[in-house]
Chains A and B, each alone.
Chain A
Amino acid sequence: MQIRFTIETKFGSFSDALYFDDDHTFTEAEVEAMKQERLTNWLAVIEAPPTEETEATRAITDAIAAAIKAAEESVIGEEV
């Protein structure tokens, strides 16, 4: 089963879903805690302070650039 939820924040609405087996035994409070955890994790990303480029982010940038190049080559006849 899917439980969709939307929580309004000062950063806009956060919409997510939890998935459970139909016969799950989670209590309402536990489900609410899971929703809150998802929200907390999202807010941590949204509210993150400015950062400097790191080796990890540089590696990601390079990997994406290479993948973009490959993707562009796969879009035949389309300008990317």
Chain B
Amino acid sequence: MASRYWVGGTAAWDGTAGTKWALTSGGAGGQAVPTSADDVFFTNLSTGTCTISTGNTGAKSITCTGFAGTLAGTATISVSGSVTLTAGMTASYAGVLMIIATGTVTSAGKTFCAGLFINGTGITVSLGDAFSTVAGGGIYLFSGTFNLNNFTATTDNFSSNNSGTRAIAFGTGNIALVSTAAATKVLDMANATNFTYTGTGGFIRNQAATATVVFGSTGGTVTNAPNLTVNAGASALTITSGTWFNNLIFTGSTSAVTAINLILVGNLTLGSSAAYATMLVSHFNTGTITSNGKALGSLVINAAAGFAVTCADALYLGGALTLFRGTLKLKTGVTNTVASLATSGTTLKYLESTLAGTQATISDTSGTNTVTYLSIKDSNATGGAVFDATDPTNVNVSNNTGWDFGAAAGGGSFIAFFM
């Protein structure tokens, strides 16, 4: 292992030694080309433009301190550690920076590299400050941990579509997906097998152009589904079928959203100026749905026992509400509208209101909604449709109107009979 100092002049960092590398800062050139065992330095005594070119044999680290020249080029370079840029330099490098060992990337406000590749079993690549790839660039996590260190990473697209053991440590940081090219897959994580994350951050997106996101259609789970916030923009967003998200928040976006078989773990917040009629949501775990007056296509409550999905405001469903497992708490004082209501499976599920003792209204205009294995409490069923709860597996807990529990009403009616 040795140190290599860029001497200067305008030259290529390739496989040719030339006179561009020295053993000390300001030293004489003529040393060998750095390898993956060598720390590379650009100092105040280095000058000119270093163009990273084909033939380079990588570096152990790259450190720019007081360097006022330019780091350029488009060739891939492999670094086995940290990369540190400095404010006074120019970084026009637009190649692929492949980090293959634990290190920190500090970019000093520079937008650089077309691709940040993180690829090493057990390694951790941390940010020393905010990080941005060049336009058209991406961050690719093959294996290891990408530690945002609470900073913001900005890139056209993020890809980690593989089964390597890998993680993102968001902390409070976010990864902004900023592609402005139409129809870009800005989040490409169809295979989330062996992926985990920590922290409260997530992905953020301004829908300035049409885009697709996918996460975990293979390997998505309640514990590894990330957050996505779509906070501006009017272009259509497509969420690929089978995608998982934890919190999915549309704030300030007026995009039409298409999502067939979207699996949610946490909160869903719809924007008040967008269209979600083709969002078909299956909700796992505990979360809050805030509709902001917008209609979802359909909703399946598939939460584990003891978990509840709570509506913060009126729920509008252009399609079916299906209760499979867990609890759905409809908002009181508003009319929750569905096109149909159904249940599925033989696990007892619960329909309640957000305020115990106060009814929540569920409205359907036509047809017959037949439910089974449903515990019903504080519910006012209305709108013209028949709400058929006559199956003996249902439980009429208390304070229900508009439901037909028939002669074989469940526990609540049983208790009421003797009271």
Contacts and interface: CB of A to CB of B under 8 A. Distances in A.
B142 A71 contact: yes
Interface in A23-75: 37-38, 41-42, 45-53, 56-57, 59-61, 63-64, 66-68, 70-72, 74-75
A80 B164 contact: yes
Interface string B128-163: 111010111110101100000011101000000111
Interface stretch (B202-210, B314-322, B385-393): B202-210
Contacts of B31: none
B163 to A, nearest CB: 5
Contacts of A4: 150
B229 A12 contact: yes
A52 B180 CA distance: 8
Interface in B350-392: none
Interface string B100-144: 000000101101001101010000000011101011111010110
Nearest to A10: B252
Nearest to B164: A78
B247 to A, nearest CB: 13
Contacts, number: 144
Contacts of B134: 60
Contacts of B181: 50-53, 57
Interface stretch (B168-176, B255-263, B288-296, B329-337): B168-176
A46 B178 contact: yes
A64 B114 contact: yes
Contacts of B180: 48-51
B108 A19 contact: yes
Contact of B178 (A14, A48, A52): A48
Interface of A: 4, 6, 10-19, 37-38, 41-42, 45-53, 56-57, 59-61, 63-64, 66-68, 70-72, 74-75, 78-80
